[in-house]
Structure 1
């Protein structure tokens, strides 16, 4: 019997729970995605022709960055280059945080608009004041380029990749450095297979797209990781909390605690926040000679509320505690690389931060959860250069032995790995991105897919 889309939607809750039928859903998704990809690849050729005509008439190519979470913005250096260029016209389309079910869209939209406003980028609001998301056709112009940062942004169907591709070339720059043991999720989603360009972190990541994706990595470009461009900036204190700047000037050591969001999560399961959240408060209070920065994953606050871990008012009080002690600060801003540079060490159970902190050359304490999905090959190599603990006492030993007394035997191993993912002597990621856009838009290319 042929399964229609309507039938599929009705049976979706059942399919999620029954392993045998889950395979049926997977086959249906595969068939549907093939049709979507064929349509999008056909549209790409037509959009490229429009852009070519515009550029031959000396018109600037409009570029739209579509973001639902301002904390994930990591393209400031690239945006700045586009803004200064004579052939590109960049905009940031700011959306509500569609992932946060505990916060009204109008509130998350206002927060995102405020953060992007602080960054000084040119903004287009993607929603009305009450949080209603606008139609794609009222914002995205024909013959443009759209950058997205995650495979599943949670936007309405009007903003689907199939609809966007009718007007724009879609580019994907991952918001995080991929170290999780999630090869299909990181290298074989619909977006990975239909994007005009996927800009990835390293040659290793490109090899994973070739291995797990559907297009033999034909649309993959190794650009490096754009957030690493912030390590190149000369001003190391820009954007830092005044309390952190004061701690630096006083010669205090600074410790970042960066907990992941995945408390009681059956898939990723990285987070140890539920085990240690009170221990870290006690540790910060007992070590006033240190400056502590609480840097939670952007999803943590509303995830705790959604799973009922704590009442909303208690979550708010917990976050406020970290903001208001004499030797603590709370960090939620999008540009945190200067925080890494200012710090003395980081304690985390997160994913991407494990790689993003590596160029700082500072020590890391990894808190591993027994229920976590684990790390990919590159991730395992990175965490092998870090310290580990699975008890509160182990955390205290790291603070005493490594942070305060400097007993860090892993620094040489970290420095060797760091050069594999970030080489400051080569061209910046942002310059590679803009060069690739120019060369690709001026070439007559055919990039085929095994699906076709």
Structure 2
């Protein structure tokens, strides 16, 4: 083959898909690549191997089919002999992937490795810095794409290889939130909310170890607070690992989880288990959240946020602490009640400072981060 043929050949980008909830991280990259005549993009479906997550192959496959995204399952795909110019990881954790797709193995077969952070990390603790910045993918990928300059500075401080491979493109996940006020939420969700104000409740799964969750401490009081305020409705969207974690810690059995969901719905709680979190973001008027990605991400909606603080846990990293300064906080039900009553009265004391802070946390929140990621990848593949 002549050199000019090689140079004009399409580059092959592979996206590794593990979780329905993580498709938002690469959706706009996929769309940009599909529209680019110089790139072939494909998706390989991998399992998500984790003791606290009930991964279901049929659910993952159905999700991709519903989106119209062609894919190849990992167990019917042969890596040998295939030309892959770049691979894009959506999870940093090698232990969640089959052996052939672990970083050290796969990097031997592909021209370029890249990573988009699976979450907008806010959790503190030295061990957590290793989880977020010191994994093989985060430390040794050829390119990592982040939401802001301040995240790149976090890599400079906490990643063992520094931040030379980190590109500030904006996070593709945020492309889906640029016009969140215009997003068409599921009519079934809107009907369930009715004329009430919905408060999104994002509960973490860390009841042991990191202790970021307040679910076990505040749940009963939060349910009582909403029962006393019929003009509000609680929209519960727990961390994807929460239910299985309750089972693994022998707090509840699987049937008891199912019964709990029935009881919560009967009491008026709306449980949101859609793969696309934008429905909950668009339909809610405010959010209460433990330490987790939503604590950062929801800022882009401009709506009020209440940080639920576990006083016994590891707390927040530098970025988490910075964003929480734009929010109210609560460590008990009385403080939750103050926040809810402010919302009922349409009071938002932090509105101006909170909305002004958006540009600090999100580089060029313009819906084009996915395109910028692809442009960097193309440059590196050239």
**TM-score, with length taken from structure 2:** 0.89
Q: For residues 248 and 98 of structure 2, what CA distance do their matches in structure 1 show?
A: 22
Gaps of 5+ in 1: 1-49, 128-133, 443-452
Residue in structure 2 matched with residue 155 of structure 1 by the alignment: 97
Residue in structure 1 matched with residue 123 of structure 2 by the alignment: 180
How far the C-alpha of 1:292 sits from its partner, in A, is 2.3
Give the CA RMSD over aligned residues: 2.6
- Pick aligned residue for 1:246 from 171, 191, 194: 191
- Pick aligned residue for 2:344 from 396, 401, 404: 404
- Alignment of 1:203 with 2:149, yes or no, is yes
- Alignment of 1:93 with 2:41, yes or no, is no
Q: Is the 8 A contact 1:179 1:355 kept in 2?
A: yes
- Alignment of 1:71 with 2:21, yes or no, is yes
Residue in structure 1 matched with residue 224 of structure 2 by the alignment: 282
- Alignment of 1:171 with 2:121, yes or no, is no
How far the C-alpha of 1:197 sits from its partner, in A, is 0.7
- Pick aligned residue for 1:114 from 62, 86, 93: 62
Q: For residues 28 and 5 of structure 2, what CA distance do their matches in structure 1 show?
A: 23
Residue in structure 2 matched with residue 435 of structure 1 by the alignment: 375
Residues 125 and 53 (structure 1 numbering): CA distance in 2 closer, same or farther, change over 3 Å?
Answer: farther
Q: For residues 133 and 369 of structure 2, what CA distance do their matches in structure 1 show?
A: 20
**Which runs of structure 2 are paired with 1:372-391 in the superposition (5 Å)?**
372-391=313-332
Q: Is the 8 A contact 2:214 2:308 kept in 1?
A: yes
Q: Is the 8 A contact 1:135 1:158 kept in 2?
A: no
Gaps of 5+ in 2: none
- Alignment of 1:82 with 2:33, yes or no, is yes
Residue in structure 2 matched with residue 13 of structure 1 by the alignment: none
Residues 234 and 418 (structure 1 numbering): CA distance in 2 closer, same or farther, change over 3 Å?
Answer: closer
Residue in structure 2 matched with residue 354 of structure 1 by the alignment: 295
Residues 389 and 157 (structure 1 numbering): CA distance in 2 closer, same or farther, change over 3 Å?
Answer: same
How far the C-alpha of 1:90 sits from its partner, in A, is 2.0
Q: Is the 8 A contact 1:135 1:159 kept in 2?
A: no
User: Number of aligned pairs?
Assistant: 376
Helix, strand or coil: the match of 1:137?
A: coil
Give 1 or 2 for the bigger CA radius of gyration: 1
Residue in structure 1 matched with residue 283 of structure 2 by the alignment: 342
Residues 99 and 53 (structure 1 numbering): CA distance in 2 closer, same or farther, change over 3 Å?
Answer: farther
Residues 102 and 293 (structure 1 numbering): CA distance in 2 closer, same or farther, change over 3 Å?
Answer: closer
Q: Is the 8 A contact 1:77 1:229 kept in 2?
A: yes
Q: For residues 174 and 72 of structure 1, what CA distance do their matches in structure 2 show?
A: 10
Q: For residues 357 and 70 of structure 1, what CA distance do their matches in structure 2 show?
A: 19
Q: Is the 8 A contact 1:94 1:109 kept in 2?
A: no
**TM-score, with length taken from structure 1:** 0.76
- Alignment of 1:310 with 2:252, yes or no, is yes
Residues 101 and 251 (structure 1 numbering): CA distance in 2 closer, same or farther, change over 3 Å?
Answer: closer
Residues 414 and 158 (structure 1 numbering): CA distance in 2 closer, same or farther, change over 3 Å?
Answer: same
Q: For residues 120 and 135 of structure 1, what CA distance do their matches in structure 2 show?
A: 20
